Amino acid sequence: MDHRKTYYSETFESEYGPVIIEGPLPSEELSKYRFDEGLKAFRPSEKQFEAVKEIADFDEGRIIIARHADNIVGYVTYLHPDPLERWSEGKMDDLIELGAIEVIPQFRGYRIGSRLLKVSMMDDFMENYIIISTEYYWHWDLKGTGLNIWEYRKVMEKMMAAGGLTPSPTDDPEIISHPANCLMVRIGENVPEESVEQFDILRFLTRHQYRQTRR
C-alpha cells in the first residue's frame, strides 16, 4: 500500500492565544518545535519526542499535533500495531493503531483530544484503514483529571467518537482482564471486505485458535 498523507490544519482561540491543530507532520517539521515537558504520560518528554519523530517517518506513521506558538502541547500517533500484539499477526497493511494521544494539563478543557482526531480524519486516505485503539484503564490519568474509572471511560469514548471510533467486542486477554478496558475501532469506507473478515479473526483470535485445534 502507498500510504499517502495529506496535511490539514485547524486553528482555535484559547485564553493563552491561538492553538493550531495540524498534521500529519514529518520529523524534520516536528524538530522545529519544542515538545512540552508536560507530555510525559508514557515516558520522559524528551524520549517521547524522539519516539514521536521516529513514528512520523514510518511509511504508515502519522503524527498530528496541537501547537501553541512553537510549543507542542498535544499530539496523537498512528502506526502499525506493535509486532508483539495480536493485531500485528495478520500483517495487515491497512490496519493502523492510534497508539497514543496526550494533552498537557494546562490545555485540557479545550477538547484538544477531539480536535486532534477530527483533523486526523480530514485526510480522505484514512478511509482506506481499519483504525484501532486499545484502551487500558491503567494508562489513564485518573489522578490528574480527578475522574473515576467509569467517568474517564465515558469521556474517552466521547473523545474517540469525534474520530469515528466506537467500542468493539474482542476476546483479547488484556482487554477483557478488566471491564473498563475496551477496543475502539473505525473501519474506513474503502476497506475491502476481506480485510474486515481478517480483522474479525484477529478480534476473536483466541476463539478462532480454539476452533482450529478442535478440528
Q: For residue range 7-28, what is the model confidence (pLDDT) as tens digits?
A: 999 999 999 999 999 999 999 9
Taking CA atoms, 108 is separated from 66, 115, 205, in Å, by 12, 12, 37
3-state secondary structure of 197: helix
Looking at every residue in the chain, the average pLDDT score rounds to 94
pTM, rounded to two decimals: 0.92
The cell for 180 is 473498563
Contact (CB, 8 A) for 178 and 137: yes
Kindly give the residue spans of alpha helices, DSSP state H, lying in the chain. Answer: 27-30, 45-56, 112-120, 142-145, 149-161, 193-203, 205-214
Q: For residue range 126-163, what is the model confidence (pLDDT) as tens digits?
A: 999 999 999 999 988 888 889 999 999 999 999 999 99
d(CA 11, CA 67): 9
Q: How does DSSP classify residue 140?
A: S
Share of the chain above pLDDT 90, in %: 88
Taking CA atoms, 200 is separated from 8, 21, 94, 150, 177, in Å, by 31, 33, 14, 27, 20
Q: Which of 91, 95, 157, 89 is nearest to 126 (CA)?
A: 95
Q: Report the pLDDT value the prediction gives residue 207, as an integer from 0 to 100.
A: 73
Contact (CB, 8 A) for 168 and 199: no
Q: Report the pLDDT value the prediction gives residue 68, as an integer from 0 to 100.
A: 98
At the top level of CATH, the class of 8-214 is: alpha beta
Name the residue ranges covered by the structural domains of the chain.
Answer: 8-214
